Structure 1
Amino acid sequence: MSFNLSALAVRERAVTLFFIVLLAAAGAYAFMKLGRAEDPSFTIKTLTVTTVWPGATAREMQDLVAEPLEKRIQELTWYDRVETTTRPGFVYMTVTLKDNTPPSVVEEEFYQARKKLGDEARNLPQGVLGPFVNDEYSDVSFALYALKAQGMPKRELVRQAETIRQDLLHVPGVKKINILGEQPEQIFVEFSYPKLATLGISPQDVAAALQRRNTVTPAGTIDTRGPQVFMRFDGAYDSVQAIADTPIVANGRTIKLSDFAEVRRGYQDPETFVIRHNGEPSIMLGVVMQQGWNGLDLGKALEERSSKIAEALPLGITLAKVSDQAVNIQEAVGEFMLKFAMALGVVLFVSLVSLGWRVGIVVALAVPLTLGVVFIIMLDTGRFFDRITLGALILALGLLVDDAIIAIEVMVVKMEEGMDRIKAAAYAWSHTAAPMLSGTLVTIIGLMPVGFARSAAGEYAGNIFWIVGFALIVSWLVAVIFTPYLGVKMLPNIKPVQGGHHAIYNTPNYRRLRGAIEFAVRHKFMTCGIVVVMMGVSVVGMGSVKQQFFPTSDRPEVLVEVRLPEGTSIKTTTATVAKLEDWLQQQPETKIVTSYVGQGAPRFFFAMSPELPDPAFAKIVVLTPNAQAREALKARLREAVSGGLAPEAFVRVTQLVFGP
């Protein structure tokens, strides 16, 4: 006796029912536990390298620093290109691996790059600092918070940011928190060269005296019968006054540094990175989420903790949320869930109306059961609900009921021919299982190029293939195992049709269909000609359709890039940004304006690449209420720029785009 899975499922009804209940419950559990994300992740195959050589010209940085480093980077196995920017005293390099680099080897390639650059560092000219490698360029700031306080010293605001950072690190799901826009503190020693000449002191003498004094020198230990006592020299600086009191030997006499120089505390000048939130300087805290965490859960936890922190802050200090991926995830997933529910409702409604009440229910039950198993597979393979997976589920919905319809229709027809329902269920396997599986595999194979594309685009959109493949294979299994069981349990008593098989297929509709098929077969050349003409028309029409694999995002942010002539100081760039901010804050569509002067915004959207440091560059991120407001603001801003707003700069208005 040949193996018949449908007959086995009908015969062992208790086991089949157990698996139906088990899979339904497990699917509901998986649905609740599956992570939610706005977009699928993909491996960013890029790292950045920064090298500093104070006092060097741009040409010296290119010839003596950038070129040797570029040659070593080119030794990487999966090397694609390196983009280098040199400025006086600085080199910025962006190293990109080939698009078809396997994600599993990217981390090893980054390690090799770091090792090769470290080996080359010893051959660079004396005084070169670096190279400093950032192989965490792909970190996405799940949430951004602006910390600001008018009139408060910056060092105290930074200490407050450190306190908040330590507090937020305890939130489950937080990987790390970056503090952005911090202006490093410095101690300035300012003196007059004529005065030094009068005293007979050179600047080198001052530097040597400061260096000798500001040292930590081991002085040994004393062993006692109790603890071990450590000896230390009292010499390292611990205050500005200690620096001012440094003794300087000049012409056989000793004087204090403060007698001829001003010693004061200050900040890095000029600044290298300025962040402004709604027109005020601020410090930004960027929260990075742990890999595989549920974004909605992290968003709720951060909202609760940040609210408590904001309430406990001293008067005058504000903590404002600038960006929150949880909100975008909720909107994106919610929108797709609504579309998914509508599509599911349409499929079930059509099944019930076209097949009848009981037959329609049997077919309709196959859909949630199939989806439940797919959710289990997604949970086990580490997949999330995002735009791609939900879109693939919507795409597969119309195909999920095909196999169940075939199986139940065969049962109904055989019962109309006089066969009992048990044998009819077994017949569905023996005569339809193989053709159904063949059709399922052909459909899956059609999407195979997307799933196996060795590129960032394939990594981003590959779940279209995998989710549709999972769903169709599971739908075939449901159709040959569970649908026959449900048919045996739920189908009504069907009386045999007089005349048997011939009478069933001799209705007017069947005769019309048979006539159309016979006409197409008899006039085969005309049929083939019509097919060729239609294919040609479709090819021509395809050329006039806009082709875009990754569409523009429906997120509400407007991105404004500001570029001034090369060599422009960061203060001039900040002044230009301030003019644009004033205009933007007057517009009704504007909710939040955040400016990043001196380099690009942090990666708050996975597909967005931050720009490298440049004093002549700034990026303004404007949050609007929705996509309609975004488009209105973009149009008005472009008109204002064309009309003379910030004529000294090149201003580009864009928005976020899906995909890599």
Structure 2
Amino acid sequence: MRSKSSTLSSFNLSSWALDNKPLVVFLMLATLIAGLMSFTRLSRNEDPPFTIKTMVVSASWPGASTRDTTHLLTDRIEQKLEETPWLDHLDSYTRPGESVVLVNLRDDTPPGEVTKIWYQVRKKASDIAATLPNGVQGPFFDDEFGDTFGIIYGFTAEGFSDRALRDKLDQIRADILRTKDVGKVNLLGVQEEQIVVEFSPKRLASYGLDVQAVVRAIQAQNAVTPAGVIRRTDEQIGLSVSGAFASEASLKTMTLAVNGRFLPLTDLVTVKRVDADPPAPLFRVNGRKGLGLAISMAPTGNLLDFSAALKARMRGVAEKLPHGIEMTQVADQGTVVKEAVDGFTKVLVEAIVIVLAVSFVSLGARAGLVVTFSIPLVLAMTFSCMELAGIGLQRVSLGALIIALGLLVDDAMITVEAMVGRLERGWDRRSAASYAYETTAFPMLTGTLVMIAGFVPVGFAASSAGEYCYSLFMVILISLLASWIVAVLFSPLIGAWILPKTMASHGEGGDRLRQVFEKRLEQVLARPYMTLGAAAAALVLACIGATQLQEQFFPPSDRPELLVSLNLPNAASIDATDAEAKKLEAILA
């Protein structure tokens, strides 16, 4: 064996690693431990977070026709909102007494500006609120409908009124909000109630009354006015006037003074409690009317941990439910995310196994072991940097890891191959490691940066798709840089431990596969024009074939859910819609 080493004026990182083995070993162990801890702490979600650039502005005008609502409400709101900065377009739909306008921002709107723009929308809509027709309620604003309510529980009741069931769900909602990482809890299917006073103008006229007189009497009875304070030496006692309405029952007991005599209000009008108009969407569970609890997770939560904690709390809630109220889980995004993450993880492991198998076949057992030990170091460094960058495990980041896997082992394989080539020529392991750095470090870094540059348009695209796929760029950037660092710092040390001191040369031998490859290479080089023509023809065929491929951002969802839209004429009542929905339920049952 002979030692051969080039003396370089530049710093050689691989030689430094071999000279400082205790420190490098410590860095390797620290990287593995930090990576393992980061992997357990990374959030698990179905999709990466992104900004919804749509806001809903709504207003209601009870009793107005579709024509009046369109011209006097919807059009005026739209005209004002056209002044919104970064506006792309407005969508609106109008029903009798109801106006809804969707404000859609341009796709290249900076995410950091969206909150400021929504503040401007609120100001502009509020500026015209005083000029809208009398009786208009709103405008109301919703810029948080992009929240994902991935966990939904349905509650049905037998022997309980709708109000009693709602009161119970209000208690459960307050209990759920104390769960860690809960974002919002919304009630579904709740029908707001209103008290309706119906009268006959003829009957009022027979008593010498008009509608306004009755309205003024009811308002005066229910007015809230200060009644004074009794001051004592040690306390103050506030006074209040009794007689305010607590329910429709107290309204029915009201008495009016009419022409010197007193008449019960119920002799003049009919008082009843009904659902508010326009009605809210109904909620049904397995064909039965009920109410739902839709739960969203806070942005900083881990969906798998959150789902498990929420299930434990809901089991306690189910045990305390009174007889007659049943709870059913309608949707569980945690299960979907777990299956998605497990599926991607399985594919990732399979890809690692395939890469390692190729490494062992092409490089040999010991050289393959060097690559095998390099992969955990690269992944550990990647997971640590992902945690620092705030990137969790979701379909985009896991897909990026799979894309990068075939690339992140290349650097380690190049380093090992360079060392093996020197060892076959009789060099010692230290010199071989130093030579590998001298000859491959800069080309590997250049190739890594070129590969990263190919994903720069994805990472910095000024669009919603760019925001959604930002983690694709970041994970590939992190993993490829980590691959280069491991290849020049850790792999030479691992190779010095595992590779033998001497290796028999196989470059001049009768490797059949190598001989076949060299023969085909000589044939190709002997016919340059034919080779270039074949390559050009293959490129043309590939371009033609690409035009036949279907374009889609992501493949169809494999979630076990089916959404059916049932559209009726705009004038259809909620009862007609409910009847048609029941028919559809019967068909699907």
Instruction: Give the TM-score range, shorter chain.
Output: over 0.9
Is there any run of 5+ residues in structure 1 with no aligned partner, and where?
A: 586-660
Correspondence for 1:335: 343
- Structure 2 residue aligned with 1:117, among 100, 109, 125? 125
Deviations 1:272-321 (A, max 9, x none): 32111111111111111101200011111111111111111111011211
Compute the displacement of 1:513 (Å).
Answer: 4.4
Residue 401 (structure 1) aligned with residue 405 (structure 2): no
- Structure 1 residue aligned with 2:575, among 563, 568, 571? 571
Deviations 1:427-448 (A, max 9, x none): 1111101111111122222222
Please give the secondary structure, in 2, of the residue aligned with 1:433: helix
Please give the secondary structure, in 2, of the residue aligned with 1:177: strand
Mapped to 2, the partners of 1:380 and 1:489 lie a distance apart of 32
Mapped to 1, the partners of 2:76 and 2:445 lie a distance apart of 58
Correspondence for 2:78: 70
Compute the displacement of 1:514 (Å).
Answer: 4.8
Residue 158 (structure 1) aligned with residue 166 (structure 2): yes
Q: How does 1:68-467 map to 2 (within 5 A)?
A: 68-268=76-276, 271-467=279-475
- Structure 2 residue aligned with 1:557, among 561, 580, 584? 561
Compute the displacement of 1:270 (Å).
Answer: 6.2
Deviations 1:203-225 (A, max 9, x none): 22221111111121122323321
Mapped to 1, the partners of 2:179 and 2:63 lie a distance apart of 44
Compute the displacement of 1:519 (Å).
Answer: 4.4
Please give the secondary structure, in 2, of the residue aligned with 1:453: coil
Assess if the C-alpha contact under 8 Å between 2:12 and 2:434 holds in 1: yes
Please give the secondary structure, in 2, of the residue aligned with 1:179: strand
C-alpha distance 495-283 of structure 1, shift in aligned 2 (>3 A): closer
> TM-score, structure 1 length as denominator?
0.85
Assess if the C-alpha contact under 8 Å between 2:429 and 2:501 holds in 1: no
Assess if the C-alpha contact under 8 Å between 1:450 and 1:461 holds in 2: yes
AA matched with 2:342: G
Correspondence for 1:595: none
Assess if the C-alpha contact under 8 Å between 1:310 and 1:319 holds in 2: yes
Compute the displacement of 1:269 (Å).
Answer: 5.3
AA matched with 1:528: L
Residue 545 (structure 1) aligned with residue 549 (structure 2): yes
Deviations 1:384-436 (A, max 9, x none): 11111111111111112111111011111112222221121111111101111
C-alpha distance 497-53 of structure 1, shift in aligned 2 (>3 A): closer
Is there any run of 5+ residues in structure 2 with no aligned partner, and where?
A: 1-8
Identity over aligned pairs, percent: 41
Assess if the C-alpha contact under 8 Å between 2:190 and 2:280 holds in 1: no
Correspondence for 2:587: 583
Residue 532 (structure 1) aligned with residue 540 (structure 2): no
Assess if the C-alpha contact under 8 Å between 2:95 and 2:570 holds in 1: no
How big is the alpha-carbon RMSD for the aligned residues of Structure 1 and Structure 2?
1.9
Mapped to 2, the partners of 1:124 and 1:356 lie a distance apart of 80
AA matched with 1:416: E
Compute the displacement of 1:527 (Å).
Answer: 2.0
Mapped to 1, the partners of 2:454 and 2:484 lie a distance apart of 17
Mapped to 2, the partners of 1:451 and 1:103 lie a distance apart of 14
Assess if the C-alpha contact under 8 Å between 1:371 and 1:471 holds in 2: yes
Correspondence for 1:619: none
> Which moves more between the two structures, 37-46 or 447-456?
447-456
Q: How does 1:634-653 map to 2 (within 5 A)?
A: none
Mapped to 2, the partners of 1:10 and 1:304 lie a distance apart of 52
C-alpha distance 428-33 of structure 1, shift in aligned 2 (>3 A): same
Please give the secondary structure, in 2, of the residue aligned with 1:136: coil
Residue 13 (structure 1) aligned with residue 25 (structure 2): no
Please give the secondary structure, in 1, of the residue aligned with 2:409: helix
Mapped to 2, the partners of 1:29 and 1:219 lie a distance apart of 65
Assess if the C-alpha contact under 8 Å between 2:54 and 2:103 holds in 1: yes
Mapped to 1, the partners of 2:560 and 2:180 lie a distance apart of 28
Assess if the C-alpha contact under 8 Å between 1:209 and 1:246 holds in 2: no
Assess if the C-alpha contact under 8 Å between 1:155 and 1:185 holds in 2: no
Compute the displacement of 1:98 (Å).
Answer: 0.7
Mapped to 1, the partners of 2:452 and 2:335 lie a distance apart of 34
Mapped to 1, the partners of 2:239 and 2:509 lie a distance apart of 104
Residue 58 (structure 1) aligned with residue 55 (structure 2): no
Compute the displacement of 1:484 (Å).
Answer: 0.4
> Which moves more between the two structures, 243-252 or 332-341?
243-252
C-alpha distance 511-344 of structure 1, shift in aligned 2 (>3 A): closer
Compute the displacement of 1:521 (Å).
Answer: 4.1
Mapped to 1, the partners of 2:227 and 2:145 lie a distance apart of 43
Mapped to 1, the partners of 2:272 and 2:60 lie a distance apart of 26
Correspondence for 1:25: 33
Mapped to 1, the partners of 2:134 and 2:334 lie a distance apart of 48
Compute the displacement of 1:77 (Å).
Answer: 1.6
C-alpha distance 512-579 of structure 1, shift in aligned 2 (>3 A): closer
Assess if the C-alpha contact under 8 Å between 1:448 and 1:465 holds in 2: yes
Assess if the C-alpha contact under 8 Å between 1:333 and 1:386 holds in 2: yes
AA matched with 2:527: H
Correspondence for 2:54: 46
Compute the displacement of 1:240 (Å).
Answer: 2.9
C-alpha distance 87-246 of structure 1, shift in aligned 2 (>3 A): same
Mapped to 2, the partners of 1:133 and 1:19 lie a distance apart of 53
> Which moves more between the two structures, 163-172 or 440-449?
440-449
> TM-score, structure 2 length as denominator?
0.95
AA matched with 1:290: A
AA matched with 2:90: V
Please give the secondary structure, in 1, of the residue aligned with 2:565: strand
Mapped to 2, the partners of 1:439 and 1:241 lie a distance apart of 81
Count of residues in Structure 1 that have an aligned counterpart in Structure 2:
581
Mapped to 2, the partners of 1:511 and 1:170 lie a distance apart of 70
> Which moves more between the two structures, 119-128 or 258-267?
258-267
Deviations 1:73-112 (A, max 9, x none): 1212211111111122111111111111111111111111
Assess if the C-alpha contact under 8 Å between 1:418 and 1:497 holds in 2: no
Assess if the C-alpha contact under 8 Å between 2:192 and 2:280 holds in 1: no
Q: How does 1:494-509 map to 2 (within 5 A)?
A: 494-495=502-503, 504=508
Assess if the C-alpha contact under 8 Å between 1:9 and 1:485 holds in 2: yes
AA matched with 1:558: L
Mapped to 2, the partners of 1:252 and 1:29 lie a distance apart of 84
- Structure 2 residue aligned with 1:523, among 527, 538, 541? 527
Please give the secondary structure, in 2, of the residue aligned with 1:255: strand
